[in-house]
Structure 1
Amino acid sequence: MNTLSKKWLTGVAALLLLHAGLPAYADQRESVNESRAVAANEKIYLEVMSGEVSIKAVDGNQFKISGKLDEKATGYTLESKDGFTRFEMTMPRQVNYRGSEKSNGADLQVEVPTGSSIEFKGVNSDVSLAGVTGGSKISTVNGNISAAKLSVLVQLNTVNGEINSKDSSGEIELSSVNGKIIDVGSSGRLNYSVVNGEIKARTSAEEVSVSTVNGDAELKMTGTQHLKLSTVNGEIEAEVAKSASPRISGSSVSGDIELKLDSSINARFDIQASAGGSIDNKLSSDKASKAKYGPARSLQFTLGSGNGSVDLSTVSGDVTLGKL
């Protein structure tokens, strides 16, 4: 064997020995693979402080959870008895959650009966869930929530995260601080709330309530009969279509409300503006009148039979009425 070949073989052997001496990287997270027979309307409680959790409703009366725990987790507990199932990922008493960091967090897939009800709590957790018809109460701090086809009582709450909801029905509450809410295809009774955030919604809910603080809302509603609007230092743009006699109320402080309605609406209008606020009416030919003393303005008029009502007020903001 020539000298060059010997040197090449020696180098390869050295590399192989070096590689053998290094510990191979392995996922240190504990695995989970559990299932339980449960009731069709099981009450299920999940507590996963960090990571990503996917919850899916399936046919059959079984609770199943699989995947990986957070690398810092000390284990988990699973209890199932008398119609109640509880899963909790146990964590050390002192855990430093930094922002939205979820590297090496839990990665869990959960299957539940369609008719079950779900309660979830997390801190650094992203949650997705679909098809649960018995009620869903989801709460996280630094995380996003994605939901589809939920019904009955739906409560989705996050502090620093985004909520995406699609085709849900029933009594629905969506709230975020420092985040965005996107809601499409919802029906029933809705309550939206953001602080330092944004709302974009397209809904056919019969009742809608909207509250923003330092945030904006863009709403497109069809058939909504009751609407309540509130903003502080924000803007609300609301369209209400195919609602002949809605009952609408709203207020703003240093914020703007723009309301667009069908030209065939039947309602009595009472619009008030103070402290420099303004009223712009593009729905009819009626004009706002100025108060005898001070900067206040007001506008009252009736369209059609006047069966519905639109009562809006602003302090240092603008109110605009328009046609769809």
Structure 2
Amino acid sequence: MQTINKNWLGSLLSIVLLAASTLALADSRQVVNESRSVSANEKIYVEVMSGEITIKAISGNTFSVSGKLDEKATGYEFDSKDGFSRFEMTMPRQVNYNWKDKTNMAELRIEVPVGSSVEFKGVNGNVTVSGIHGSSEIATVNGQITASDLQNSVKLSTVNGEIKVNGASGKVELNSVNGEINDEGSTGRLSYEVVNGKIKAKSQAEEVSISTVNGDAELELSGTKQLKLSTVNGEIEAELRAVSSPRISGSSVSGDIELKLESNANARVALKASAGGSLDNKLSNDKATKAKYGPSRSLQFTLGSGDGSVELTTVSGDIKLEKL
């Protein structure tokens, strides 16, 4: 019986060792563990072609990169000098990727000073970035960007992916093609652009600019004083709360604009629809008038003291004004 137990234990140990060696051989990715002392407002450039990337701001003046490279990577470059730092994962000149296949892509954690300015470029993969108060410019082609607590100058863009933002402030620019933008709690001056996608935002920004092509937008705005709207073959729905005299301008081509304002809004309103477009006004009893020649319609009226302005035009689309 004792001999049988020893043989059994020996076989089990062999299986465990074989499994461990198989896993080790399966993951042939190069390990990275680099760190440098840098300035509090360091200019940092990061380029990672593929992978799951996390960029996090820390209180210390350190720039560090840790984790594993893509299995196809030939190495990496890590430089830091005179206020400029750079990390780049080097890849072969020609490499074929199915961006949905994340097997053995890079997994990297990057830490930067809070006040640094960070520029990231990628192709395939997702990026999570948080806490940077200098400036952030994050761009990827196929993947999702998840961002929180970014300040000052913020530029986020992706082609085939989604952008999720929470608590950004300053000058914020969000751009997606074939994807969605979800923004919550951003302040400052915001710019949204989407093609073949959707925008959903809850913001307290003073200035907001939005552009959609073959895409829709839902905006819940509070305290926004200036709003610019543009859509082609899309639909924009915007609610403006906690502001009585907004300045709003916009246009649509084969698309719709629906705007909801406070019941005590003060503004001079000028609407125009052509090529079969329609105007629906529920802010007052004023009705649109049809042009003597052609299919165009127009509507002008004043709400309250008229301190603000609402100027909207449409070609082959609908404009609708309502009270909150």
Q: TM-score range by the shorter chain?
A: over 0.9
- Quote the residue 1:112 is aligned against: 112
Helix, strand or coil for the counterpart of 1:159? strand
Would you say the 8 A contact 1:155–1:174 is kept in 2? yes
Which has the larger displacement, 8-17 or 246-255? 8-17
Stretches of structure 1 lacking an aligned partner (at least 5 in a row): none
Q: How far off its partner does 1:298 sit?
A: 0.7
Helix, strand or coil for the counterpart of 2:243? coil
Q: Residues 160, 283 of structure 1: CA spacing in aligned structure 2 closer, same or farther, 3 A cutoff?
A: same
Helix, strand or coil for the counterpart of 1:25? helix
Deviations 1:267-315, CA, capped at 9 Å, x for gaps: 1000000111101101111111111112111110001111111000111
Would you say the 8 A contact 2:76–2:88 is kept in 1? yes
Helix, strand or coil for the counterpart of 2:41? coil
Deviations 1:98-133, CA, capped at 9 Å, x for gaps: 233322111001111110010000000211111100
The aligned length equals 320
- Quote the residue 1:140 is aligned against: 140
Separation of aligned partners in 2, 1:316 and 1:207: 27
Would you say the 8 A contact 2:191–2:209 is kept in 1? yes
Are 2:314 and 1:314 aligned? yes
TM-score (norm 2): 0.94
Counterpart of 2:46 in structure 1: which amino acid?
L
Which has the larger displacement, 22-31 or 283-292? 22-31
Deviations 1:188-215, CA, capped at 9 Å, x for gaps: 0000000000000000111100000000
Q: How far off its partner does 1:244 sit?
A: 1.6
Deviations 1:122-145, CA, capped at 9 Å, x for gaps: 000211111100000000000100
Are 2:289 and 1:289 aligned? yes
Would you say the 8 A contact 2:99–2:125 is kept in 1? no
Q: CA RMSD in A?
A: 1.9
Separation of aligned partners in 1, 2:76 and 2:236: 45
Separation of aligned partners in 1, 2:190 and 2:265: 22
Stretches of structure 2 lacking an aligned partner (at least 5 in a row): none
Q: Residues 315, 96 of structure 1: CA spacing in aligned structure 2 closer, same or farther, 3 A cutoff?
A: same
Are 2:260 and 1:260 aligned? yes
Identity %: 65
Helix, strand or coil for the counterpart of 1:24? helix
Q: Residues 58, 9 of structure 1: CA spacing in aligned structure 2 closer, same or farther, 3 A cutoff?
A: closer
Q: How far off its partner does 1:25 sit?
A: 2.5
Separation of aligned partners in 2, 1:185 and 1:9: 64
TM-score (norm 1): 0.94
Q: How far off its partner does 1:242 sit?
A: 1.3
